[in-house]
Structure 1
């Protein structure tokens, strides 16, 4: 298949491009900068210049492809409403291009906010509906497109998609530990996160693209429960820093944006995903990655122009 990938030089997108190319697919990657374009070309992928703020710039690329994987997101915490609008407009542009084709469309989401008090299941519908919702209600918008002749598939990522070069949540926790000279956890550290290695997440995307029926919700979860205290302790060991609890009232100041998430339990089950697609994660665990030095190098600018 010729697969159009947005977010193709981001953290998960880069691994997905590698997975697709390694499995014999052709890749057309959306790039908004010269650096991103060069990175794609170096891998043997084709380049389509454009960005999320101009969805018309990639509507025809989606139409011409055999499949679309939408991983790009602005991640602008200072303007979440603007990011939500951009996300919805991007999905609308892709759906306009794919309507009536029967082609697969994989769209990214997270486990955060799906349910409270238990692990999220693939059968749990996202509560985010409509343009004013988180991420512009894009998951539901995409899944509803089955009625428009599209094969939509949602992939929901664990809060930690980890690995060497990760610039997401665990990298932010690492930066906070270095900044304050202590690896912290919120409260008593019994909050839990799910986790998945980035290569396992990329393989799941490829399997879903190839085999998942329309309307499938996939959970990229290899480990269902890792305590936040265990994460902090592993970071403390890797960075040779003391480990200490952080008062929940001080979490935002200590950790920054990630403090809000680190003080929550964010877990999901992937039992149905594994059964449907015969997906068996093989990458290292989150704690193995941390203790193995995956977060001892600063990657704070990785993927910024993806």
Structure 2
């Protein structure tokens, strides 16, 4: 699940342990969503690679976060069209990395409506700003499960889309970008990312806490919950590197950005629990937990979305530094230990949260 990122901060620092790749012809990149879980990394990565980075912010805290990562903060909001032209002025590349994916246990209709606005209205406003300032390139963050197939079979970028209530606005934003690019000459790139996770992603932290306390079930499909969905995942560090590579590249179009090995939700949680030294999670059918999690969350966790990064790797200078969730979850827990969120229990070698 992608983390909330409309221009407000989430709750932890970002990894900066990947190798910078200086650009031989650095330009100015404008990042909407610069203080979110992806955006913070983007400001860092692009600055490391020699770019001048402008980060869209809405408050002083956001401005400090952007400055700390080597960027120039400018005030504005993707939902306020008049604020964007001056904020993005001078940018060669515009990146729409702002989202408002709900992080509550059971999102409301209003939560999803705000996400729709950020995706669609935000794309409209940013495209207008990009045209006004004469930007050359526009990158849009989307999600691979907008095109997951009814029968769960593998799919690629050419597969017919299969949106639901929660992904329809992502598809509409993709189509708006493609239409604008065709008529306006803007180089357009849509990066459909896999299921995000990282030490500072809200859902990852929620899952970690629940697993450590034995309260996170495996949500499965079917009458007894024994049918597992295959997920295409992506550590957010690799997502940031992918956007940086696409900002510097020349290819356009729609690409899937995921790690090297799809996994099931059951395997993800079992691996996570094992790394935490927690009890294996029990299995519950989706229909039983739907009243608690909501229809959208259950569908996400019980509907397969197997795809690959083949097309993106062929087009751009990128490969994932976190090839599997097994490697990624080790990174997540290492960061929690480093920052002091977790500590080892003396009794059994497992881990516990320090603020509980």
Shorter chain as normaliser: what TM range?
0.7 to 0.9
Cα distance between partner residues in 2 of 1:14 and 1:173: 22
Give the drift of 1:266. 2.1
Instruction: Report what 1:231 is aligned to.
Output: 268
* 8 Å Cα contact 2:218-2:265 kept in structure 1: no
Cα distance between partner residues in 2 of 1:71 and 1:63: 18
TM superposition outliers: structure 1 runs of 4+ over 6 Å: none
1:167 equivalent among 202, 206, 213: 202
- Classify the secondary structure of the residue corresponding to 1:64: coil
Instruction: Report what 1:247 is aligned to.
Output: 285
* 8 Å Cα contact 1:164-1:289 kept in structure 2: no
Instruction: Report what 1:51 is aligned to.
Output: 77
Instruction: Report what 1:277 is aligned to.
Output: 316
Give the drift of 1:5. 0.2
C-alpha distance 86-276 of structure 1, shift in aligned 2 (>3 A):
closer
Instruction: Report what 1:263 is aligned to.
Output: 302
Give the drift of 1:88. 1.9
C-alpha distance 158-8 of structure 1, shift in aligned 2 (>3 A):
same
**Gapped runs of 5+ residues in structure 2?**
1-26, 343-356
1:142 equivalent among 169, 177, 184: 177
Cα distance between partner residues in 1 of 2:81 and 2:135: 21
Q: Does 1:222 align with 2:259?
A: yes
* 8 Å Cα contact 1:181-1:242 kept in structure 2: no
Count of residues paired in the alignment = 294
By relative contact order (CA 8 Å, sep 6+), the higher-ranking structure is 1
1:1-306 map, 5 Å: 1-76=27-102, 77-78=107-108, 79=110, 80-99=112-131, 101=134, 103-116=136-149, 117-124=152-159, 126=161, 133-135=168-170, 137-146=172-181, 147-159=183-195, 161-168=196-203, 170-178=204-212, 181-186=215-220, 187-188=225-226, 190-214=228-252, 216-239=253-276, 240-253=278-291, 258-283=297-322, 285-291=324-330, 293=333
Give the drift of 1:14. 1.2
Cα distance between partner residues in 2 of 1:24 and 1:99: 24
Instruction: Report what 1:302 is aligned to.
Output: none
| TM-score calculated relative to the size of structure 2 | 0.74
| TM-score calculated relative to the size of structure 1 | 0.85
Cα distance between partner residues in 2 of 1:88 and 1:185: 30
Kindly name which structure, 1 or 2, has the bigger radius of gyration based on alpha carbons: 2
Instruction: Report what 2:350 is aligned to.
Output: none
* 8 Å Cα contact 2:260-2:323 kept in structure 1: no
